[in-house]
Structure 1
Amino acid sequence: MIEQVQPPRRRRSTLLDFIWTGVQALVLFLALSALIGRFEVHQISMEPTFHEGQRVLVSKLDGLWANVFVRTAHAAESRSSSPFALQRGQVVVFYRSLARDEDALIKRVVGLPGDTLEINGGQVLINGAAIDEPYIHGLSTSCGTTCGPFTLAPDTYFVMGDNRLNSLDSRSFGPITADQIVGRVVLRYWPLNQAELFP
């Protein structure tokens, strides 16, 4: 007697594989969305580093580190304990209010938690010493309403635009808290011919 051999049930297996692949892709997309943000620059306060219309990727891990861990440890200890701890000179995206109901801003971190900061004679002094700021291309830093010296609280950062003559920043609205920070700019991806990684 001869029996007809039934082909394996491949259709059901293929459908399950397709569904499983879709679920994995969705999980990956959601994870990346939680860790990476995309922003477009709409201001001139960071020129010449960033110009209007440029687009950047932001690592939200840096904002999470600042928000969760910097509060629990002194800044000098936390800076070296994670690759995600914010460093002086890095560029961050943040909101001026915790409600996040206005446009995000992009500025450079100048003062870290625990730093004593002062603006004197057109220079920024951290813990009594002038810091090197090649990104401002020789521009003088005016005082605004905050001259110092003052010491930043454990969860606060002093941020300024590279275009010091045309930037609304911590000199006007004061230090920002870790809660306000979205994350650190890691890549300018648009326009493509101006793509650049940022440490």
Structure 2
Amino acid sequence: MKKEIGEWLVAILIAVVLIVLIRSFLFVSYTVDGLSMDPTFEDEDRVVVNKLMDNFGEYETGDVVVFNSEAGPAYVKRIIGTPGDTVTMEDKQIYVNDEPLEEDYVVHRTDSYMDNFTLQDLGVEGETIPEGQYLVLGDNRPLSRDSRDFGTVDESQIIGEVQLRFWPFNRIAVNFD
């Protein structure tokens, strides 16, 4: 009996250690709060965030990331500009390095509270996004608090890239570019 209890305790301990390691270094889940990423994500959607990207990859325009906010809980937003990019918005059209950005995921194009901006309007010094900084926007531009409000996001704030929506079950999806 003692041997069996010991085996169970070892199995439980190994499971707990694996869970802690996976959550700390590989993947973590988050719940989307609000409609700022609609229609890509809805309020209360649950997503899996790949934390490996933070250590081994570079984020690209179009990646959906979760990052820590100084204003409260973590945000889910889309990367629009990466280090070295120039980004402007004119008449609801984003331009990255003077090329229009095709954004099929943006369906709410009316009544945006900030239709035009330059990097300087967002508090960036210089003509391009600085090294280690990212410009992020929500897909639902009229409702989103994003770089238009708080400027660029430091790479150290980014938790990882959203890889999977697993809830609700009828909307399971991957690849949010």
Q: TM tier, shorter chain?
A: 0.7 to 0.9
Q: Which amino acid aligns with 2:157?
A: Q
Residue of structure 2 in register with 1:45 after alignment: 36
Q: CA deviation at 1:26?
A: 2.0
Tell me, which stretches of 5 or more residues in structure 1 are unaligned? 1-9, 66-81
Identity of aligned residues (%): 32
Question: 1:165 is matched with which residue: 113, 131, 142?
Answer: 142
Structure 1 residues 131 and 186: alpha-carbon distance in aligned structure 2, compared to 1, 3 A threshold? same
Aligned length: 168
* Alpha-carbon distance between aligned partners in 2 of 1:168 and 1:23, rounded to the nearest angstrom: 41
Over 3 Å off, 4+ runs: 14-20, 140-146
**Is the radius of gyration larger for structure 1 or structure 2?**
1
Q: Residue by residue, what CA displacement relative to the aligned partner does 1:2-34 show, whole Å, maximum 9, x if unpaired? A: xxxxxxxx964x555444433321221111111
Tell me, which stretches of 5 or more residues in structure 2 are unaligned? 121-126
Question: TM-score, structure 2 length as denominator?
Answer: 0.83
Q: CA deviation at 1:144?
A: 6.0
Q: Which amino acid aligns with 2:104?
A: P
RMSD: 2.4
- Contact 1:146–1:172 at 8 Å: present in 2 too? no
* Alpha-carbon distance between aligned partners in 1 of 2:2 and 2:67, rounded to the nearest angstrom: 50
Q: Which amino acid aligns with 1:25?
A: A
Aligned: 1:24 with 2:14: yes
In terms of fraction of residues, the more strand-rich structure is 2
Residue of structure 2 in register with 1:151 after alignment: 128
Question: TM-score, structure 1 length as denominator?
Answer: 0.74
Matches within 5 A, 1:103-122: 103-122=73-92
Aligned: 1:57 with 2:57: no
